[in-house]
A and B are shown apart, each in its own frame.
Chain A
């Protein structure tokens, strides 16, 4: 009789404490699953694990422009110290936080509004849904160039329209001003991302039972109360996942700031990824760039952990039921 069979038989015997399966037993029990994912894991080891290992290794080396990578010089944690003690890093970090928090908040908010509006039946709903998907579908590179011309400080369409309407005397300086540039780019980013939040939340709205909403209506709940007490709690799971995905996406943003301003004016739109790119590929500071990337990797993995937790919440209880 195997230990598993014994445990099954004595499960209901008072005082019986089931023996927890060992790690090896757990692996063996799921051997078929592991076999299925083995090819993908192998590919990941080659194309993801090795670059990660090499980036971590490189982060402990000095890589002067005059030396080949084969001659890199070990310098311990100097690269990390250089980064963490630099005021530039903390300025860029603050800008990254502003970029991520505002982009995520407003993209989610607009997405939620659009999802709620489009959840109801009305004439032209399908067309509107398609139109609102356009920002998400078009290439970020193309969108960046279009917005760059819309914002253009001399010949931009937005500036010209505001002048024509008599709202301003001269075109507003959106992106050639170190105070307004970051916020102007956030608007572009929100425009590009809110469709994604909209799609996710529209899917979430499908799971809200109509019977509950009708019952709440019968009980005299007004629209806000129905939304707050019935709809919103049902959206909590999909909202968490959407917000986490938006946060990860925004931390990893590159195209919009790089194309529209190149990180300027005076570094005011520099965020982590653009700064890492500049260090590694434009200034060839591979070692410092790698250390920077490792720091970002740690943050991303932490967010990734919460994402997976949010995604698999309830799986274990369902599995045990």
Chain B
């Protein structure tokens, strides 16, 4: 793994020892490059639904052979791994792919013993925290996209770069790599990534006199469309979500905030420092004003937005009582499932909604900026001193990570609700099959280049899940003006990234 202990140097000086070190480093780099399993052949500049379809199924990969170049296939060792695998409620295909992966890994590395625990999403972080305190953690863990930063900041994770396991940075989305980079050091690899999209009911659009086949292009259009739908049909236009203490809220509001040129910190900039507070800049206030316009002035969104999570929007949407909302790629499958459970007159309505459901790109801001929260998971390596038994098998760890992140398995393991973290996965047959069988997948994947991860600092959960929803609620209940709410949020963010903040 990468040694990040830097030393201060005098500019321009080069001692003999340093010259030797550079020569060794050059050789090591050349050696490492020779073990790089894959060359990146996906052109991100062309990314669109059509491009995603055109490249799918155009290249074959052999994870066993490619990872064998990183860690020999006859290597004998042991690796322990925690992740959130498929559970009862997940579709059968997720279980099958998970089972197939472990069988394939066993076939590729017959002498590596695996100790695997699948832990539910809600329990994984707490269990990992507890295990770390007792030096009983696994060697490798896969966490939700921002789960790792807390542990990286606290010194529990080993630096891990794509090159360590045979890949290059170009094999991953730049936004995804940002999410595993804390204070300049990379602490993990993205295993899967997904972004949300806008879904709408074409029939409601048509009934309201809007273009049924095209979504609102900008967030200002969303405000206008929402008002039109509400005024003409008496139902909610846009599914605003603003519940306190709920991760759903920032996932839906931050794209709007970023599109208007705002941010919590400077996370939307190409090289974020996470030290500059932008929650009260003009862009952020414009986004907050747009939410205020819909909730308070136009009353074109659900009154229940203050206590709604996305789950509460699903029922009105399938009942044809909600025009549009930001939704996960798996929302279509959820709606099909809900429709299948409906009975009587509700069934006809639900089937009609499913037939009229459309997916589109998330709207842009006034200057054409499109943004979405980068979701997904990352895989991390725990420092040996925190691993159960005090030892980690570096080669076995590398083998597992290489295999999991291979184009083939990175795609198959993200079959249902996400996309491969390794972008070469988009070239695979598996991706082609997914595109052929999962409706709207081409649209939801086309949002990936616009993905922005939440600030990669340990205070991010408090900023996103507490301060941002509080700001929204302060404005929407008129407890504060838009300006006051934004400034209040800025004061809170400055406090927590500075001294720790009050209550």
Chain B residues near A171: list those with CB within 8 A: 303
Contact assessment for B304 and A152 in the assembled complex, using a CB-CB cutoff below 8 Å: yes
Contact assessment for B306 and A265 in the assembled complex, using a CB-CB cutoff below 8 Å: yes
Chain B residues near A83: list those with CB within 8 A: 503
Contact assessment for B462 and A178 in the assembled complex, using a CB-CB cutoff below 8 Å: no
The closest CB in chain B to the CB of A171 belongs to B303
B24 to chain A, nearest CB (A): 34
A98 to chain B, nearest CB (A): 18
A104 at interface by CB-CB < 8 Å: no
A153 with B154, Cβ < 8 A, contacts A62-B500, A265-B473, A282-B462 known: no
Contact assessment for B316 and A266 in the assembled complex, using a CB-CB cutoff below 8 Å: no
Chain A residues near B312: list those with CB within 8 A: 152
Residues of A4-60 at the interface with B, using a CB-CB cut-off of 8 Å, are none
Contact assessment for B477 and A266 in the assembled complex, using a CB-CB cutoff below 8 Å: yes
Contact assessment for B316 and A283 in the assembled complex, using a CB-CB cutoff below 8 Å: no
Residues of A77-101 at the interface with B, using a CB-CB cut-off of 8 Å, are 82-83, 86, 88-89
Contact assessment for A154 and B303 in the assembled complex, using a CB-CB cutoff below 8 Å: yes
Residue interface mask A168-187, B partner, CB < 8 A = 1: 00010101111000000000
A68 with B156, Cβ < 8 A, contacts A86-B503, A263-B244 known: yes
B273 at interface by CB-CB < 8 Å: no
A155 with B321, Cβ < 8 A, contacts A89-B503, A266-B477, A266-B479 known: yes
Chain A residues near B229: list those with CB within 8 A: none
CA distance A148 to B311 in the complex (A): 13
Contact assessment for A154 and B302 in the assembled complex, using a CB-CB cutoff below 8 Å: yes
Residues of A265-286 at the interface with B, using a CB-CB cut-off of 8 Å, are 265-267, 275, 278-279, 282-285
Contact assessment for B243 and A262 in the assembled complex, using a CB-CB cutoff below 8 Å: yes
A76 at interface by CB-CB < 8 Å: no
Contact assessment for A266 and B473 in the assembled complex, using a CB-CB cutoff below 8 Å: yes
Chain A residues near B133: list those with CB within 8 A: 69-70
A285 with B500, Cβ < 8 A, contacts A67-B154, A154-B302, A265-B306 known: yes
CA distance A177 to B479 in the complex (A): 11
Chain B residues near A153: list those with CB within 8 A: 302-304, 307
CA distance A297 to B132 in the complex (A): 28
CA distance A64 to B245 in the complex (A): 20
CA distance A64 to B458 in the complex (A): 9
A79 to chain B, nearest CB (A): 10
CA distance A171 to B476 in the complex (A): 19
Contact assessment for A148 and B245 in the assembled complex, using a CB-CB cutoff below 8 Å: no
Contact assessment for B304 and A154 in the assembled complex, using a CB-CB cutoff below 8 Å: yes
CA distance A89 to B457 in the complex (A): 27
Residues of B458-483 at the interface with A, using a CB-CB cut-off of 8 Å, are 458-459, 461-462, 465-466, 469-470, 473-474, 476-477, 479
Of the candidates A68, A175, A283, which one forms a contact with B461 in the assembled complex, judged by CB atoms under 8 Å apart? A283
Contact assessment for B153 and A176 in the assembled complex, using a CB-CB cutoff below 8 Å: no
CA distance A258 to B309 in the complex (A): 13
B415 to chain A, nearest CB (A): 30
Chain B residues near A263: list those with CB within 8 A: 244-245
A175 with B154, Cβ < 8 A, contacts A88-B503, A154-B316, A283-B461 known: no
Please, how many residues of chain A have a CB less than 8 angstroms from a CB on the other chain? 42
Chain A residues near B307: list those with CB within 8 A: 148, 153, 175-176, 260-262, 264-265
Of the candidates B156, B305, B315, B459, which one forms a contact with A65 in the assembled complex, judged by CB atoms under 8 Å apart? B459
CA distance A73 to B289 in the complex (A): 41
The closest CB in chain B to the CB of A78 belongs to B500
The closest CB in chain A to the CB of B243 belongs to A262
B150 at interface by CB-CB < 8 Å: yes
A66 at interface by CB-CB < 8 Å: yes
The closest CB in chain B to the CB of A75 belongs to B500
Chain A residues near B496: list those with CB within 8 A: 65
Chain B residues near A66: list those with CB within 8 A: 153-154, 457-458
B184 at interface by CB-CB < 8 Å: no
Chain A residues near B321: list those with CB within 8 A: 154-155
B502 at interface by CB-CB < 8 Å: yes
The closest CB in chain A to the CB of B150 belongs to A65
Chain A residues near B302: list those with CB within 8 A: 153-154
B246 at interface by CB-CB < 8 Å: yes
A198 at interface by CB-CB < 8 Å: no
Contact assessment for B315 and A266 in the assembled complex, using a CB-CB cutoff below 8 Å: no
Contact assessment for A82 and B462 in the assembled complex, using a CB-CB cutoff below 8 Å: no
Contact assessment for B245 and A278 in the assembled complex, using a CB-CB cutoff below 8 Å: yes
Contact assessment for B245 and A282 in the assembled complex, using a CB-CB cutoff below 8 Å: yes
Chain B residues near A278: list those with CB within 8 A: 245, 466
The closest CB in chain A to the CB of B301 belongs to A154
Of the candidates B150, B465, B470, which one forms a contact with A266 in the assembled complex, judged by CB atoms under 8 Å apart? B470
The closest CB in chain B to the CB of A270 belongs to B244
Contact assessment for B150 and A267 in the assembled complex, using a CB-CB cutoff below 8 Å: no
Task: Specify which of A65, A177, A282, A288 lies most central, judged by the most chain B CB atoms within 10 Å of its CB.
Answer: A65
B155 at interface by CB-CB < 8 Å: yes
Using CB atoms and an 8 Å cutoff, list the residues of chain A in contact with chain B.
62, 64-71, 82-83, 86, 88-89, 148, 152-155, 171, 173, 175-178, 258, 260-267, 275, 278-279, 282-285, 288
A sample of 18 more A-B contacts (CB under 8 A), given A264-B307, A267-B244, A284-B462, is A64-B500, A67-B153, A83-B503, A153-B302, A154-B303, A154-B316, A176-B303, A176-B306, A176-B307, A262-B245, A264-B243, A265-B477, A275-B503, A278-B466, A279-B503, A283-B461, A284-B150, A288-B503
- Sample of 21 A–B contacts (CB below 8 Å): A64-B500, A65-B462, A66-B457, A71-B154, A89-B503, A152-B312, A154-B303, A176-B306, A176-B307, A177-B477, A178-B477, A261-B244, A262-B307, A264-B307, A264-B473, A265-B244, A278-B466, A282-B245, A284-B461, A285-B500, A285-B501
Closest 4 A-B residue pairs measured CB to CB?
A264-B244, A65-B458, A153-B303, A68-B154
